[in-house]
Amino acid sequence: MSAFEDRTRRCQDRLADAGADAAVLFPSTNLFYASGFREEPMERHLFLVIPSEGEPAFVAPEMYDEQIRDASWVEDVRLWADGEDPIAVVSDLADEMDLRGGRLLVDDTMWALFTQDLRETLPDATFGLASEVFDDLRMRKDETELAALRRAGQLADEVSVEIRELGEDAIGMTETELAAEIDRRLAENGGEEVAFGTIAGSGPNGAKPHHRHDDREIRRGDPVVLDFGAYADDYPGDQTRTVVFAGDPPEGFAEVHEVVHEAQQAAVEAVEPGVRAEEIDRAAREVIEDAGYGDRFVHRTGHGVGLDVHEDPYIVDGDETELEPGMVFSVEPGVYLPGEFGVRIEDLVAVTESGCERLNDSPRTWEPL
């Protein structure tokens, strides 16, 4: 059985447990997770219907016939041609699967255009969200997923080192030029595409946690927050280092960097099965609060990472998810001093039987390499 089919079977068990009759997915990471077929959301009707029992089926535009059969283990593909009514195909499938009065879990990211169609076509059905079964399922990564996440981590590590080796050459580059250089090297080292807009926040721009990049030139002594990653085998990397390319950093920077570094270390060391996600946040926050910067750590400590760059579990106060082997998330505390600089250090970790494995291991120091 393929990894994709295995995931679908586990999804079916959960659908039954949740009292749902089917999941209705449209092009999304859930659809890829279950079927192996990947496509961007689009205006044509393309669904994967997974009943709680029996075989799943695609409803798809005719032009996707071969593509779906090549990519997916799902054999039942119901086609409609441009100019035909896709709703008739959906309606027939609902009859066959006995879903008319059922409880259907639709993809959280499904366009309203399609959920409205489903509601009109199946007025007696009730609707919920697919996250009800998929979020929990996707939290525990299987071996295929862990291998891909390791590769994405390595890729970010390689580029992190290469970029830091620019040293003096980075001085005078704009943030936008530096970000483009990062993206180019990610692609050159085998990355599929960037996992999110690359962040190169220099000097005061680093104090805005999600500042991407602009035309500010990097000066000697500037701390620069570098947060980036690319997909490898469909899974993203996400790593942050705060570095100085050349020259002496501003007063107080080295101390703040040390605090964030210690907070990150403390949080990573706290990761083991049975610990709640929020306790990892607490471990990082305590170090930063004790150093007097508690009010400058303005975001959660991390987020789960899988097919989506942000997914469950969230490393935040109130997330009581008990960590289990196979969960993967970021540990990324930061301290932000408006008008001066910011510091963030981020690695992805995978929970193991006895603790965790860091998926990133490039130097975390700020000094030029």
- Name the residue nearer to Co ion (CB basis): 321 or 330: 330
Rounded Cα gap, residues 277 and 325, in angstroms: 13
Q: b/e per residue, 218-231, with b = 16+ CB within 10 A?
A: beeebbbbbbbbbb
The distance of closest approach from Cβ of residue 332 to Co ion in the complex, given in angstroms and rounded to an integer, is 5
- Select from 25, 4, 198 the least CA-distant residue to 109: 25
We find the least distance from the C-beta atom of residue 235 to Co ion, in angstroms, to be 14
Q: Which is nearer to Co ion, 51 or 229 (CB)?
A: 229
Nearer to Co ion, 45 or 141 (CB): 141
Which residues make beta-bridge pairs with 125? none
Spell out the alpha helix ranges (H) of the chain: 3-17, 29-35, 65-71, 86-96, 112-121, 131-139, 143-164, 175-188, 253-269, 277-290
Could you say whether residue 198 binds Co ion (CB under 5 A)? no
For Co ion, the closer CB: 238 or 281: 238
- Rule CB under 5 A: is residue 311 a binding residue for Co ion? no
Shortest distance (Å) from residue 159 CB to Co ion: 16
Q: Is 330 in the site for Co ion (CB under 5 A)?
A: yes
For residues 198 and 330, which CB has a smaller minimum distance to Co ion in the complex?
A: 330
Structure tokens, 248: 């002496």
Q: Which of 184/210 has CB closer to Co ion?
A: 210
CB of 73 to Co ion, least distance (A): 32
- Work out how close the CB of 95 gets to Co ion at its nearest, in angstroms, rounded to a whole number: 45
Kindly indicate which of the ranges 50-58, 161-169, 266-274, 324-332 contains the residues binding Co ion, using the contact rule CB under 5 A.
324-332
Q: How many helices, marked H, and strands, marked E, lie in the chain?
A: 10, 18
**Shortest distance, position 195 Cβ to Co ion, whole Å:** 9
Q: What is the CA 291 to chain-centroid distance, rounded?
A: 31
Q: How far is the CB of 346 from Co ion (least distance, A)?
A: 5
Smallest Cα–Cα separation from 325: which of 135, 149, 139, 137?
Answer: 139
Report the nearest approach of Co ion to the CB of residue 347 (Å): 10
Binding-site string for Co ion from residue 222 to residue 251, where x marks contact by CB under 5 A and - marks none: ----------------x-------------
Q: Which is nearer to Co ion, 205 or 330 (CB)?
A: 330
* C-beta closer to Co ion: residue 72 or 160: 160
How many residues sit in the footprint of Co ion (CB under 5 A)?
2
Neighbours of 85 (CB within 10 A): 10
Q: Report the distance separating Cα 63 and Cα 81, nearest Å.
A: 8
Token pair recorded at residue 118: 């489903």
Task: Tell the smallest beta-carbon distance from residue 34 to Co ion (Å).
Answer: 25
∠ Cα 176 180 183 (to 5°): 140
φ, ψ of residue 58 to 5 degrees: the values are -90, 145
CA distance 84 to 304: 41
177 phi/psi in degrees, rounded to 5? -65, -40
Among residues 7 and 151, whose Cβ is nearest to Co ion?
151
| Interacting residues with Co ion (CB under 5 A) | 238, 330
